[in-house]
Amino acid sequence: MKVDRGFKQLLQIQQFTDNIISVEFDEAHCISTWGDFCSKYQEVEHLCYILQRDILIVTTSAMLATHVLNDVKDILQL
């Protein structure tokens, strides 16, 4: 998740966030396996708190071994 000033400001506009129906993560295994050397991947957990409402979270990957899936679920708090 690229958290720059413009993105943070956009997420503070309720008219924008009210129209977000889902957040999708392709190659979701990167959230877990790349988090050690690229901490930005583990910061995606904050997105649900920033949006402050229930939205559909979709994760897809061909590389989701059970332990990686469990880690992704923990990070995203699913």
User: What is the pTM (predicted TM-score) of this model?
Assistant: 0.69
**Confidence category of residue 70, pLDDT binned at 50, 70, 90:** very high
Please check whether residue 22 is in contact with residue 58, taking contact to mean a CB–CB distance below 8 angstroms.
yes
Distance CA 5, CA 24 (A): 22
The whole-number average pLDDT for the span 25-32 is 86
Checking if the pLDDT of 37 tops 70, the result is no
Q: Tell me, what's the pLDDT at 77?
A: 81
The whole-number average pLDDT for the span 25-48 is 77
Checking if the pLDDT of 36 tops 70, the result is no
Checking if the pLDDT of 3 tops 60, the result is no
